[in-house]
Amino acid sequence: MLDVLLASILTGAVRSGVSVLYATLGEIISERAGVVNLGVEGCMLMGACAGFVVEAITGNALLAIAAAAVAGGSLALIHAFLSITRGANQLASGLATMFFGLGLTGLLGAPYVKANITGLNTVSIPLLGDLPFVGPILFRHDLLTYLAMLLAPALWLMLTRTRWGLAIRAVGERPTVAFAAGLSPARVQYSAVIVGGMLAGLGGAQLSLAYTHTWVEGMTAGRGFIAVALVIFSMWDPLKALVGAGLFGGAVAFQFQLQSLGVPISPFILDMFPYVLTLLVLLVWGQTGKRAMPEGLKSVLAGGSQNPIAAGPVALRSATSAAE
């Protein structure tokens, strides 16, 4: 009995955690380059809506997934333009981006609210899916879930072992030094923010295409903000993001289990649990997490939030010469 319960909670944790994992991974890339994007919530909604609408029209799941990534990336592009090129306050720009995504998806998705889709169904991996206990937990999921599991280590390799990863980290830590080393910080930040938005879009698509098979306005319900919190918990490390997203997913699955067991607690109170747990996790591990914070983010999260790169090469040049 207990192992059945545990297995179903763990399976549920994977299923509910995947969308947040995508968003967390995307936000990690963006923040490693020095840009906080509170618009991830909006990027997720864009992905959820675009994926659902394209699936409803074409019935082609791969096209739907591609559309979700493009939609998330496009919204992130707005945030990139405002915070990198125009030097806007990152938090305000991110919130405006979130608001825009919420409104636009509400507008464009309205005719599709009651549409039926096939979406992404469970594909059991041969052999692995038949393993006792772990099989159902890890290897009987949808395509986007498998992709997410592979993505976390892949992004870790990308950040630590590739030129692009190095450039992202250099720009996030010391933009002036990166500039002096011949990198274009703005270009690197743009690429990181857009890729981050595309990943959040995929997370949204997992939510609408695989997890719920529905589209409802505002259906991400704060998962993007939870991802921003989990980035701190993950210490900006894609591998630790697996743990963070797993915790969130576990909390969701746990409260669903309690509800289905008929525990006499208001379902609304149970529904708070993932949010409260995220806050508690931040409270307990947030301080250790902050020590890993990319240098370029410190001014943003301390309330200043001006992107040093925003001013463009001229300011950077004067900053580098001042540093000499």
Partner 1 sequence: MIIATPAASPLLDRVLDHAIMRMLVSLLIAGTLFAAILLLLGTNPLDAYAAIFRGSLGDSYGWSEILVKVVPFILCAIAAALPAQLGMINVGAEGQLQIGALTATMAALAFSGLAAPVLLPIVIVAGFLGGALWGGVAGALRSGPGLNEAISTLLLNYVALRIVDSFTHGLLKDPASFNWPFSPPFVDAARLPTFGDSRAHAGLLLALAAIGIVWLLLNRTRWGYEMRVVGGNPEAARRSGLRVGRYLLIGMLLGGGFAGLAGMIEVSAVNGRLQPGIGVGFGYVGFLASWLAGSRPFAIIPMATLLAIIAVGGEVLQISAKIPSSSVNVLMALILFAVLATRTLRLSGRLHRA
Interface residue list for partner 1 (CB under 8 A): 38, 78, 81-82, 86-89, 91-93, 95-97, 99-100, 102-108, 110, 217, 221-222, 225-226, 228-229, 232, 266, 268-269, 271-272, 275-276, 278-279, 282-283, 286-287, 290, 301-304, 306, 308, 310-312, 314-315, 318
Look at the block and give the residue holding tokens 């963006």. Answer: 30
Pairing of strands 123-124, 140-141: antiparallel
Q: How far is the CB of 266 from partner 1 (least distance, A)?
A: 4
How far apart, in Å, are the Cα atoms of 54 and each of 49, 210, 216, 273, 282? 8, 14, 15, 33, 37
Residue number, 106 or 135, with CB nearest to partner 1: 106
61 versus 102: smaller Cβ distance to partner 1: 102
Position 285: which residue type? W
Q: Shortest distance, CB of residue 204 to partner 1, whole angstroms?
A: 16
Instruction: Tell the smallest beta-carbon distance from residue 299 to partner 1 (Å).
Output: 9
| Cβ atoms of residues 133 and 3 within 8 Å | yes
We find the least distance from the C-beta atom of residue 287 to partner 1, in angstroms, to be 7
Q: What CA–CA distance (Å, rounded) separates 268 from 286?
A: 27
Which is nearer to partner 1, 82 or 144 (by Cβ)?
Answer: 82
CA pair distance 192, 198, nearest whole angstrom: 10
CB of 148 to partner 1, least distance (A): 22
Q: Which is nearer to partner 1, 110 or 239 (CB)?
A: 110
Phi, psi of 308 (to 5 degrees): -65, -20
CA 151, distance to chain mean position in Å, is 12
Q: Which is nearer to partner 1, 1 or 268 (CB)?
A: 268
